[in-house]
Structure 1
């Protein structure tokens, strides 16, 4: 395995681990925020889900430029 491929695999694993952790904790976070404001909880939940796709979109742009 080349050093570049190893770096990409580590980055992808870190991103997936982070996303899995956020998705695992998301119901607790959204319910906690929902005690204060249901609308705010909706936006936080949407941001957490969209953040997963945003990270991969930004990474793809970075890889294309490189």
Structure 2
């Protein structure tokens, strides 16, 4: 495994770990936010989903610029 492949694997593992933990705790966070406002709970879910796609999109752009 060369350096670039190892770095890509580490980055993918970190992204999966962070968003996996966030997804695990998302129902609890949404239930707590839903007691305050249902709109707030929906916004939190939307921010989570958009955040995931933004991170993956930025990672893809970064890899494309490097020519990998």
TM-score normalised by length of structure 2: 0.90
Q: Which residue of 1 aligns with 2:44?
A: 44
Aligned length: 66
Alignment of 1:17-56 (within 5 A): 17-56=17-56
SS in 2 for 1:35: helix
Q: Where does structure 1 lack aligned partners over 5 or more consecutive residues?
A: none
Structure 1 segments of 4+ aligned residues over 4 angstroms from their partners = none
1:53 deviates by 1.4
